[in-house]
Every structure is written in C-alpha cells, then in structure tokens.
C-alpha cells in the first residue's frame, strides 16, 4: 500500500468531502423517500465517470460500477441513503432542511466515504477487479437490503464481496471494531393486537377489557428469552410499546382493545426463528385465557450479519498499515443492521469505526457524524481496493 500516495490523495479531497457530507446532512430524508439524496449522489458520481450508473435499485438505490462487471473478482461497498424522523437541534450549523428529519445514524458520513472512494477510482481505475458502490435505501426499516437483493440489476452484477462500515460512538475515535462470524444480531418487531369489548366503567363485568391480559403478556414476553435459551445465548425480548384503546378517552368507559409491541433479537438468525413462534404462542395462550381475539403481525426483520474470515483478516492488516487501533469483540453486537441480508448472496464484511468515547449515541437528537472520520473511513475502503486489485 502506497501510504504517501494515499495521504496526498486525501489532502486533495478532504475539504470537498466535508462539504459534501454536510450537504447530505441537510438533505436528510426518511426511509423510502430518499429521492433528493439519490439525485445528489448521482450528480456527484457522474463527475467520476463510472463505467455504469444504475438508478432506482430496490427503490431509490444507486449503484456505480468501476471496471468490467462479471470479469474477475468484484467487490461492492455499501452506504445507506436514509435518515431518521428525529429533528436536528439549532446548534448544528448544517441543520437538516426538513424540521422533522435528521441524519442521526451517520449515513451522511457513510455515503461520503463512498464518494471519496469514487474519486480515487476515477483517478486510479481498478485493473483486475470490478468495484461497485451501492447507495442503499431504507436501511432503518430493514426493507432496503431485501429489495436490493431481489432487484434484477443487482442479480446481474452478483458481487463476490460486499463491505460496509458503521460509525460507533462509545469507542475510541478511528478505532476499527471487527470480528469474524456473527457481528450484528438478528431482530424483528412483533405486534400483538388484543380485541375485547367496551362497557360502562360502573359495570366492567359487562365488557371484556384487555388490560390484565396485556400485563400478563408483558411479563411473559420479558421473561421468555432467559427461560427458553439460557444465560449464555444472546437472546433478548424488549417490550417497546403498550397501549389500551377505546377511541376517545372517557372515564366512564372501559377499554375494548389493546396493543403490545415487542422487539425480539438474537445473535443468530436461527435462534430468532425459534423465538418468534414461542412469542406468538405466549400471546395466543394469554389472549385465549382472557377470551380475547388476537391479531399478530411482524415488522422490521433483520438477519444476523455473518462476517467473512478472510475479509476480517484483510481489514485488520489494512488497519495496521494505516496505524489505526483495532478491537475484536468476543460477542456480536445486540443491535441489528439490514446488511445481514447480503450474507445470503456474497461474502460480506461489516465493521465498526469508533466515533469517540463521549460522542452522542446513534439516534440521539444531538448526534452528528464526526467529520474527522472521513479520512480513516475513505482510507480503509481504498485500502481494500488496493489489496484486492493486486491479489493473485
């Protein structure tokens, strides 16, 4: 790896990349509505003259191709297009133009890593490999990766490797966090909709309130993971919402419907698949005991991300040459990422990049991607291109 050449390259683009990151922050759009963001990305990518530029992938997704696709090994780097329905505080100078939406997960920074890599590829075209840049929609809702994998353009491109990073507050700035095998957990949201009957509050026996059933369901779900899978298995059920409903609030009327929502998560997709029917069985049994009707639905399904051993080792080698500190966790992270869906079709690597031990956490209203990470993020991705392009 020619570090001097890489340093000169970064010195020449870092100011421009910082401006682009802040522009993307101002354009923040929620999942499935990333049209303006995608258009801006395409405008910047066209300046780097990719061999192909594919639009509307799995929604508003974009794929730029550098080198000859389907000849030699191919690697695809992924960033996320979407923001979150969390507003920016006034203290952020490059505040989002949408008062209800912000880039509170750092996807603006992740996109900029790929834009910097695009500039490298423009000046240093790959010789032996094909490099693809994917700007993926709807990561936050778990929908985007599924749609991308099912897209006919993606199926035609069929990358051998897929690589992505996620910035991680709470870790030393620029620290590379990686482990082979499971890296992020599988998860799914489950909604239990209980239906009984209202009555006059003076005669609750004439109705069928779901209140006590909801309390029993919350307790049963909260205890389920530990009882079913043991203390050494990462399996967690978190009740995230409960609501009794009768329409308008009225002290003279008992509720007739209720909703309990829980997130199920596990280190392995197989464990999550065992948890789902157990949770549904708990809900069905409780609803039956209280003579309530029950509807069950699921949302935001994420698979485990399974990191490839070779790619993880390659990352540690690259980080060492760049003199970046590294950390190899002994257990997968409990949070989820829809990058796990790509584990089914490619050899993948998802790794963390420390954003600072005291940096505001992801999804916090005060969070803003630290621009200092642009240099290390872009260098790591360029390092992969250089390494793969010179492999025999």
Could you give the percent of the chain with pLDDT greater than 90? 88
Q: Where does the pLDDT of residue 234 fall: very low under 50, low under 70, confident under 90, or very high at 90 and above? A: confident
Q: How far is CA 222 from the centre of its chain?
A: 25
Q: Mean per-residue pLDDT for 40-59?
A: 98
3-state DSSP call for residue 39?
helix
Supply the mean pLDDT for the chain: 94
DSSP 8-state secondary structure symbol assigned to residue 326: E
Query: Would you place residue 248 in the very low, low, confident or very high pLDDT band (cuts 50, 70, 90)?
Result: low
pLDDT at 227: 56
Q: What confidence score (pLDDT) does residue 262 get?
A: 96
What average pLDDT does this structure show over 11-15? 98
The encoded tokens of residue 227 equal: 């009882």
**Which among 178, 223, 163, 194 has a CA at the least distance from the CA of 297?**
194
Structure tokens at 239: 């009740």
Nearest to 17 by CA among 385, 366, 377: 377
Range of lowest pLDDT (24-33, 78-87, 101-110, 383-392): 383-392
Which domains can be identified in the chain, with CATH numbers? Answer: 3-183+304-389 (3.40.630.10), 186-302 (3.30.70.360)
For residue 272, give both structure tokens: 């999550």
pLDDT (average), residues 270-287: 94
**Residue among 18, 16, 96, 13 nearest 371 (CA):** 18
What share of the chain in percent tops pLDDT 70? 96
Distance CA 237, CA 216 (A): 15
Q: Classify each residue of 84-112 as buried b or exposed e, where b means 16 or more C-beta atoms within 10 Å of its C-beta.
A: bebbbeeebebbbebeebbbbbbbbbbbb
Are 252 and 272 contacting, i.e. CB atoms less than 8 angstroms apart?
A: no
Q: Residue 231: what pLDDT? A: 56
Mean pLDDT over 269-286 rounds to: 94
Mean pLDDT of 229-254: 78
pLDDT for position 391? 81
- Write down the pLDDT at residue 243: 92
Count other C-beta atoms under 10 Å from residue 314's C-beta: 19
The whole-number pLDDT of residue 229 equals: 66
> Would you place residue 1 in the very low, low, confident or very high pLDDT band (cuts 50, 70, 90)?
confident
Q: How confident is the model at residue 70 (pLDDT cuts 50, 70, 90)?
A: low
Q: Is the pLDDT of residue 146 over 80?
A: yes
Two tokens, residue 267: 């280190």
Helix or strand run (H / E) with residue 377: helix 373-389
Report the alpha-carbon distance of residue 184 to residue 348 in Å, rounded: 12
Q: What is the DSSP code (8-state) at residue 84?
A: B
pLDDT on residue 223: 87
Q: What is the mean pLDDT of the segment spanning 204-229?
A: 87
Q: Stretch 352-359: mean pLDDT, rounded?
A: 98
For residues 163 and 312, is the Cβ–Cβ distance under 8 A? no
- Rounded to 5 degrees, φ, ψ at 121 are -65, -30
């Amino acid at each position: 790896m020619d570090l001097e050449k890489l340093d000169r390259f970064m010195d020449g683009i870092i100011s421009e990349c910082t401006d682009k990151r802040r522009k993307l922050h101002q354009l923040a759009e929620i999942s499935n509505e990333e049209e303006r963001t995608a258009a801006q990305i395409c405008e910047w990518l066209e300046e780097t003259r990719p061999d192909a530029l594919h639009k509307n992938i799995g929604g508003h997704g974009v794929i730029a191709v550098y080198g000859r696709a389907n000849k030699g090994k191919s690697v695809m780097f992924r960033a996320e297009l979407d923001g979150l329905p969390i507003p920016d505080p006034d203290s952020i100078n490059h505040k989002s133009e949408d008062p209800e939406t912000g880039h509170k997960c750092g996807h603006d920074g992740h996109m900029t890593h790929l834009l910097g890599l695009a500039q490298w590829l423009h000046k240093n075209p790959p010789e032996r490999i094909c490099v693809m840049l994917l700007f993926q929609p709807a990561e936050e809702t778990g929908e985007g990766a599924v749609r991308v994998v099912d897209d006919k353009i993606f199926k035609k491109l069929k990358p051998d490797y897929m690589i992505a990073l996620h910035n991680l507050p709470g870790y030393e700035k620029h620290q590379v966090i990686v482990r082979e095998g499971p890296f992020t957990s599988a998860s799914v949201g489950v909604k239990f909709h209980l239906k009984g009957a209202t009555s006059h509050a003076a005669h609750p026996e004439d109705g069928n309130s779901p209140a006590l059933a909801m309390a029993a369901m919350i307790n049963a779900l909260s205890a389920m993971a530990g009882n079913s899978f043991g203390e050494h298995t990462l399996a967690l059920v978190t009740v995230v919402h409960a609501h009794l409903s009768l329409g308008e609030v009225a002290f003279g009327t008992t509720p007739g419907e209720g909703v309990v929502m829980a997130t199920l998560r596990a280190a392995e997709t197989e464990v999550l698949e065992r948890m789902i029917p157990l949770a549904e069985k708990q809900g069905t049994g409780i609803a039956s005991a209280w003579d309530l009707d029950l509807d069950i639905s699921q949302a935001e399904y994420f698979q485990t991300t399974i990191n490839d051993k070779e790619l993880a080792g390659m990352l540690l080698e690259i980080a060492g040459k760049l003199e970046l500190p590294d950390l190899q966790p002994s257990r997968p992270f409990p949070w989820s990422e829809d990058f796990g869906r790509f584990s089914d079709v490619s050899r993948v690597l998802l790794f963390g990049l420390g954003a600072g031990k005291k940096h505001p956490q992801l999804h916090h209203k005060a969070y803003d991607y630290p621009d200092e990470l642009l240099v290390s993020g872009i260098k790591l991705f360029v390092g992969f291109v250089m390494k793969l392009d010179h492999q025999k």
